[in-house]
Structure 1
Amino acid sequence: MSIYDKRDPRFRGLIHPNAQLRQIGAGFEWTEGPVWFPAAQMLLFSDIPAHRMMRWTAQTGCSIFREDSGYSNGNTRDGQGRLVTCHHGLRAVTRTEHDGTLTTLANQGAGQRLNSPNDVVVSRDGSIWFTDPTYGIMSDLEGYKATPEQPGSYVWRIPAEGGAAQPVITDFTQPNGLCFSPDERLLYVAESGSSHDAAIPPVIRAYEMTAEGPANGRDFATVDAGLPDGIRCDAQGNIWSSAADGVHVFAPDGTLLGKILVPQVVSNLCFGGPRGNRLFITATTGLYTIAVNASAAQP
């Protein structure tokens, strides 16, 4: 059976027909937050319920990168090559410095503890954007059960120069993955509220970036299997989204181009590898990879 579900002729330009989907890691509890570090030729990702972060390299396979991870979830890399991480357990966003020490970038907003930071992206100006749904405080599985202190689940921004995080989008039920278009004129955010309320549509929303912040939000695309979790934008402006049946690829106009079918529910993905054209996929208990004809919008 083919691993591809082709919906639009443009999809053929983004895949290699003979490429194989390979499982390169197994036996985890719930994988999330993949991020590629070119300098080390290394992938880092979270195993949330196991309370640890993992490392993968082509030479050594999977190994433990960090124990007692604070129930880490989403990860990204900043402009100086430092790891930026969202933690359910710490209810914080941190940065791992080059000497290995952790700097807390945000753990509250408007004087109240954050919910459970989920996913994160760094813009070219150095500001840090993250989502803060309540998944990590709903139970003790992926964090510590607690009553939310924030009035809602927001998208937040930490200024490039540092300082207090500010809410920039406040009309989501459960904001999840997020990414910028290549020119950073658009911010895409996944709505995953259907995980607990079937009335919430499983959509990716697009916001215009203005001098005052994100504006004019609109539904960009709907995921037709499960819900959107982690999302990434490639250099051509296509959106690659996690879904229940694999990775869905949407054109900049919102058209579903096709799917890469994965045997487990996909949580997140990123581009990486020596040439930047390999897709790494975190999916339930496994880690997968496949060669594609695309690369990250912000390598």
Structure 2
Amino acid sequence: MQNATLKPRRRFLTNAAGSGLAAFAGLAGAQSFDFKPNQRYPDPSVLILDPSFAKYRIYSSTVEQLGSGMRWAEGPVYFPEGGYLLCSDIPNNRLMKYDEKTGKFTVHKHNANYANGNTRDRQGRLVTCEHSVTRRVVRTEKNGRMTVLADSYEGKRLNAPNDVVVRSDDTVWFTDPTFGINGEWEGSRATPEQATTNVYRIAKDGKLSAVITDLVNPNGLAFSPDEKKLYVVEWKGTPNRSIWSYDVAADGASVSNKTKLIDADGPGALDGFRVDRDGNFWCGWGFSGAFAPEPTDVGGGMKAHLPLGKSEDMDGVKVFNREGKPIGFIRLPERCANLEFGGPKRNRLYMASSHSLYALYVEAHGAV
């Protein structure tokens, strides 16, 4: 493996006006990257960690940057009826829209209550985790009105709803860590009212139940293709971030048999993820920010606690098979927080990554 092929293909710009993408989308004042797509096939950014991943790589497909100028991109969700994708720009408190037909990347909604995770229900309606201030899960009806699905549990406010999925039985499942109320960057600081950080289920009749209560800051979640398994990222896992697997009860109302399936195994950080039809995990990946416990002399009479890894070595999407074995990696110039399969054939992988939205066509299809 030649290190030269692994260097991020980017040039950091301090002024968003220098990026045509950012200026076009009206994103002045936000940081942006001038991305240079690779001209060679296959794209050296798509790494085969195990031969089993080769069938999912398209030889003549390369990573594309579709838009930039965000501050922390999250929660991509695809709408096949309209041929567009929405994603959250949490610190800027807005939802962004990428239109596949026109290629335009624009603001879809201002004052989005610090929206984080988004999904589409079986009726084609947007379901959103409002991450801070309102701290609730809402559904946008076809007429544009908002329906509050959950904002409290046992008489106390939710923490900061993070990611959400809808099962085929129309139940809504979401995670509720504290990220959105830990500071002022992704909303407003507040004291958690819940004693634990839970995974919740909203039944068809609207009843809210806590199905998992022993994870520290649960994050991304998804079901297996047959919906017999629920997978959840534990952001504050010990010692590393992990994906836990649960068996879903026959009635779909509870889970059991907690099993660690994937361990980040070091400074790598799991975030949001999607499962394809073969049961593989396509995981947002990046550096956790871990630093050495002892300081190192960095010159100028200063000592610093140096990071235990390099972001440029870890930013991207890591792919695991259904047994939890790493099989592939898509290297990106920015950390990927979450992703979504979209396009008419559900084989276009959209990657919400820090300041930008990227895409790559693959020989895999989203499970739902």
1:65 aligns with 2:108: yes
Counterpart for residue 228 of structure 1 = 270
Q: How far 1:227 moved relative to its partner?
A: 1.3
- AA at the equivalent of 2:161: P
Are 1:115 and 1:133, in contact at CA under 8 Å, matched by a contact in 2? yes
Residues 1:110 and 2:167 are matched in the alignment: no
Question: Which residue of the partner structure matches residue 132 of structure 1?
Answer: 176
CA distance in 2, matches of 1:16, 1:161: 44
Separation of aligned partners in 2, 1:223 and 1:76: 25
Q: Highest relative contact order (Cα 8 Å, sep 6+), 1 or 2?
A: 1
In the other structure, the counterpart of 2:285 is 243
Kept in 2: contact 1:178–1:189 (CA 8 A): yes
Counterpart in the other structure of 1:155: 199
Aligned partner of 2:323 in structure 1 is 253
Looking at structure 2, the residues matched to 285 and 60 of structure 1 have their Cα atoms a distance apart, in angstroms, of: 17
- Structure 2 CA distance for aligned equivalents of residues 134 and 226 of structure 1: 21
Q: Does 1:208 align with 2:252?
A: no
The offset of 1:18, in angstroms, is 2.6
Matched, 1:283 2:353: yes
- Per-residue Cα deviation, 1:36-65 (whole angstroms, up to 9, x for no partner): 000000100000000000110120411111
Query: Of Structure 1 and Structure 2, which has the larger fraction of its residues in strand?
Result: 1
User: Which of 124, 138, 149 is the aligned partner of 1:81?
Assistant: 124
Amino acid of the structure 2 residue aligned with 1:205:
W
Instruction: Give the secondary-structure state (helix, strand or coil) at the position aligned to 2:214.
Output: strand
CA offset digits 1:70-89 (Å, max 9, x no partner) = 00000000000000000112
Q: Structure 1 stretch 236-245 or stretch 93-102: which is displaced more? A: 236-245
1 CA distance for matches of 2:367 and 2:103?
28
- Which residues of structure 2 form unaligned runs of 5+? 6-43, 287-314
Deviation for aligned residue 1:161: 2.4
1:25 aligns with 2:63: no
Larger Rg: 2
Q: Which amino acid aligns with 1:180?
A: F
- Correspondence for 1:188: 231
Structure 2 Cα separation of the partners of residues 219 and 18 of structure 1: 36
The match for 2:222 among 179, 183, 206 is 179
Query: Any runs of at least 4 consecutive aligned residues in structure 1 with deviations exceeding 3 A, and if so which?
Result: none
Report how many aligned residue pairs link the two structures.
293
1:13 maps to what in 2?
A: 55
8 Å CA contact 2:66, 2:103 repeated in 1: no
CA distance in 1, matches of 2:323, 2:268: 21
The answer to whether the 8 A contact 1:223-1:243 is kept is no
Deviation at 1:201, TM superposition (A): 1.6
Bigger mean CA offset, 33-42 vs 5-14: 5-14
C-alpha displacement of 1:207: 0.5
Residues of 2 paired with 1:200 and 1:185: CA distance?
28
Structure 1 unmatched runs, 5+: none
Q: TM-score, normalised by structure 1?
A: 0.95
What is the identity, as a one-letter code, of the residue corresponding to 2:167?
S
SS at match of 2:54: helix
**How many angstroms apart in 2 are the aligned matches of 1:223 and 1:246?**
14
Q: Quick one: percent identity of the two aligned structures?
A: 44
Over residues 115-162 of structure 1, what are the superposed CA-to-partner deviations in whole Å (9 max), with x where a residue is unaligned? 000000000000000000000000111111000000011100000222
DSSP 3-state at the match of 1:10: helix
Which residue type is aligned with residue 171 of structure 2?
S
Structure 1 residue matching 2:193: 3-state secondary structure? coil
> Is contact 2:84-2:98 (8 Å) kept?
yes
Kept in 1: contact 2:87–2:95 (CA 8 A): yes
Measure the CA separation in 1 of the matches of 2:350 and 2:206: 31
1:267 and 2:337 are equivalent in the alignment: yes
Alignment of 1:168 with 2:211, yes or no, is yes
Please say if residues 54 and 64 of structure 1, whose CA atoms lie closer than 8 Å, have aligned partners that are also in contact.
yes
Q: Which moved more, 1:151-160 or 1:224-233?
A: 224-233
Partner residue of 2:291?
none
**Contact 1:172 1:191 (8 Å CA) reproduced:** yes
Equivalent in the alignment of 1:38 = 80
Change (3 A) 1:200 1:152: farther
Structure 1 SS opposite 2:337: strand
Task: Give the alignment's Cα RMSD to 1 decimal.
Answer: 1.1
Is the CA contact (8 Å cut-off) linking 2:270 and 2:285 kept in structure 1? yes
Question: By how many angstroms is 1:256 displaced?
Answer: 0.8
